[in-house]
Amino acid sequence: MFHWLEKRPFFFAVAVFVVIAFAGLIEILPNFAQASRPVIGTKPYTTLELAGRHVYIKNSCNACHSQLIRPFKSETDRYGHYSLSGEYAYDRPFLWGSKRTGPDLMRVGNYRTTDWHENHMKDPAAVVPGSIMPAYTWLFKNTADIDTAYAEQLTVMKAFAVPYNKELPMADGSKATVALADTVEAARASALEEAKVIAADMKDQDVKDAVAAGQVPEIVALVAYLNSLK
């Protein structure tokens, strides 16, 4: 067999390619599959967080902010640990971004607070001198679309086997369960309860009154999403 291949360079080259390709697949695919699994502490978005993610996309926040920290010292010193594949397991779609007009937001939940986001969205330049980011005052008046977020949980997320209603391991060794509501009414109620916790840390009285009246302003949903980025 080997003598036959040695006399035929073309088939010898094809055989070498097949062997190397097969060996490469055996080596690469298992590692790739392992790396793409959710890392400990990564959990699916709640209904409110997912609604906030929709607000983030709708306002093109990903056009100026990336969510991908590269493994360079200049980036990890500023933004924290570099991004891991498994951290995007529940992102549909991922929001890596292609440019950074503003800072990366991959781990913004580790160093920014609800109060900071509220002030920043109202008047960015007052919080970050020299900022060219516009004010997003309409987020304080518009109502978040909880129903669409819940519909995404029922369709897209379930299609990708996102493990709602299951205990998930957290980074500190504990376990947490992200529940998927049985009905849209239950999803609205769950989102509202989560919104009340966030609104309690905000100063805008109109936002507080809206949440107290059973509504969820877009700013509250957006802050919930940003706070989840850790």
Query: What pLDDT is recorded for position 29?
Result: 63
Q: What is the mean pLDDT of the chain?
A: 91
Q: How would DSSP label each residue in 4-16?
A: HHHT-HHHHHHHH
Identify whether the C-beta of residue 153 lies closer than 8 Å to the C-beta of residue 164.
yes
Query: What pLDDT is recorded for position 31?
Result: 61
Reading phi first (left if > 0) and then psi (alpha if -120 to 50, else beta), residue 15 is in alpha
Helix-helix angle 218-228:114-122, to 10 degrees: 130
CA 161 to chain centre: 17
Maximum distance among all Cα pairs of the chain, rounded to whole angstroms: 85
Amino acid of residue 21 = A
CA distances from residue 107 to 20, 91, 102, 130, 168 in whole angstroms, order as listed: 39, 15, 14, 22, 20
Per-residue pLDDT tens for 143-188? 999 999 999 999 998 888 899 988 888 877 888 888 899 999 999 9
Query: Helices (H), strands (E): how many in the chain?
Result: 11, 2
Q: How would DSSP label each residue in 178-228?
A: -PPPSSHHHHHHHHHHHHHHHHTT---HHHHHHHHTT--BHHHHHHHHHHH
Query: What pLDDT is recorded for position 212?
Result: 97
Checking 210-214 for CB contacts under 8 A at 24+ apart, the result is 210/143
- Distance CA(56)–CA(138), nearest Å, equals 13
Domain extent listing, the chain = 2-35, 47-228
Per-residue pLDDT tens for 109-131? 999 999 999 999 999 999 999 99
Identify whether the C-beta of residue 147 lies closer than 8 Å to the C-beta of residue 192.
no
CA-based torsion, 125, 127, 133, 139: positive or negative? negative
Query: What pLDDT is recorded for position 214?
Result: 96
Per-residue pLDDT tens for 191-212? 999 999 999 999 999 999 999 9
Which CATH code fits 47-228?
A: 1.10.760.10
Identify whether the C-beta of residue 99 lies closer than 8 Å to the C-beta of residue 187.
no
| pTM for the structure as a whole | 0.84
